[in-house]
Structure 1
Amino acid sequence: MIFCGDPHPAAHMPLPGYPRGGVGACTGDKKCSCTVNPLVTPPASRAEYNYTISWRWTYTRSNIFTPSPKMKLKLLTWDVKDTLLRLRLPVGQQYQAEAKSRGLQVDSAALDSSFRQVYSNHWRLFPNYGLSQGMTSHRWWLDVVSQTFRLSGIQDEKILQSLSERLYQDFCTDRYWEVLPGAREALKGCEELGLRMAVISNFDRRLEDILRHVDLDGHFDFVLTSESAGVAKPDLGIFHKALKLGAVSPQCAAHIGDDFVKDYKAAREAGMFSLLLQNRLRKDIPSDHVIQSLDQLIPRLREVME
């Protein structure tokens, strides 16, 4: 006897505590797909049923798994920061270097702490670069950088203006950004699988320039930033816009990113398949939905594609 998660009610003798037609002892009904996707042992709990049956089961907003065949995947969308690119050095060190070039002494740890505080407050008060409040992303970033230096002890407004503008411009080049290990190989592998690719990122309008400077821009059909979309992840609107631009249904699209809420969960709520890039497994999602490095991406995609 085997146990499976096929929801066809005629195929199962339900196990206690599970919904009728859910996980159960298979009776061998030909309508059951357990020969394709069996579970050798029954799940230990309803929570395990909800989270670890198999990658073939799609988690929905009502906490129910529904079976899905292998995907006809056409479009893969990517997050960028800490998925494809990362900062070469912490923000505090990069800001300190620019200040030092002007003869100013500022502690990098103080700059790091100030930046985190200012960025968080500014995004809360003026979300998505303040676009709905009449701001531009350029103005938004100049304010963030200036206030970061103010909190770290620099008060001269002329110096602050010059520092902020210089850093804003430099951060759209490869001076401060580097490609994550395995990213180029993963992008090439996706192309060899026949996938079209695009970007969905909570970045500002400089992102296309950054991707061009690091020689990644040629991999993408389009780059959709939260600034150009008018909404930021995890708002489902940005995913819907990407699907429209890609001219694909959610069932034919997948997304990969490093943030559970903004990337993994939001993409699934938009109807897409998604993978979470993190260096450790999580208890709240199936292990097959997590890749711990980009060299695991292509084998995982092969598993889910027709």
Structure 2
Amino acid sequence: RCRFAYSPAFETLAAVRVATGPQPPGHHRRWLTDVGDALRRLDLRPLTLLQPRRGYTPDFLSPPPDGPADIADELARIAATPPLQARAEIARSLADTPGASRTATGRLLLDGEPAGVVALLAGLVADAWEALVEPYWPRTRALLEADIAFQARRLADGGLDRLFAELHPSVRWHDGVLTREHGGADHRDLHGEGLVLMPSAFKWDQVVIVLDPPWQPTLIYPARGVGNLWQEDAGADAHAAALARLVGRTRARLLTGLAQPAATAWLAHRYGLAPATVSEHLAVLRDTGLVTAARHRHEVRYRRTELGDLLAGSGTPQRASARTREATARAK
């Protein structure tokens, strides 16, 4: 009973988190620039407060779908959440952020009439969808559908063993148990319930699991190739285009994508590339002094050098010219 799905409501919540949360936007910087004006017109504080940096986000705000979902159906499901269930999930979420329940927004969510709070939150999800995600949904949906097609072929070739073993670098499959790295002690025995596997474009940085009844057990993972989602926009950027001409498009993507240290498997998943291809390009970048590698536990992680930062557009402008000339000579 394992199956794939995607959720416009979940993408909307994740987009709100990217746009308003403390974590960096990662591959969505260009999207964030595009939606800046629309974002400033929205008051998303209730949704933001219910998405703690570390902790529980109410499941009723993006209920796990049975399959590829329609936003209208999802909004109807959110609005139909039993008020007492919604209040219990809200209280649990607020408890994960110290002081949240004492803020004006927290008091509104906890002390307001429960049915009215559900309607308020459903309306905010709808507003955020229209402003932040709907204009970009065709390309986002195409990415999610491409991931599902790829994973379905992997399932056909190697069964569930291969699918789960290669689904995402932070997921481990052994002896009938699916484990998320750094996932805590929570667990759920499926007992034939099945599992929804849901790729996400805006939840680009980690795997999320839904375990609590009455919701369908769900594993949400970053979609394969999410690093290419805004590729057309990147092509219009003069610096990105020049870098691609200098070192090649794939190497340019890998170099700019190493804002944080990452292992080969993570980069391969992020950009939809074969691990061997990533390794080959990283070797060239390392040999030319643009990246360096260091072992971290069971994996080797790559990060940009100062020279790599300069070429990627993250270095000190005053020194960029000389260092860029040096990089050009070394790359040749």
Same-fold call, TM > 0.5?
no
| Relative contact order, higher structure (CA 8 A, sep 6+) | 1
| Larger radius of gyration between Structure 1 and Structure 2 | 1
Structure with the largest fraction of helix: 2
What's the TM-score once normalised by structure 1's chain length? 0.30
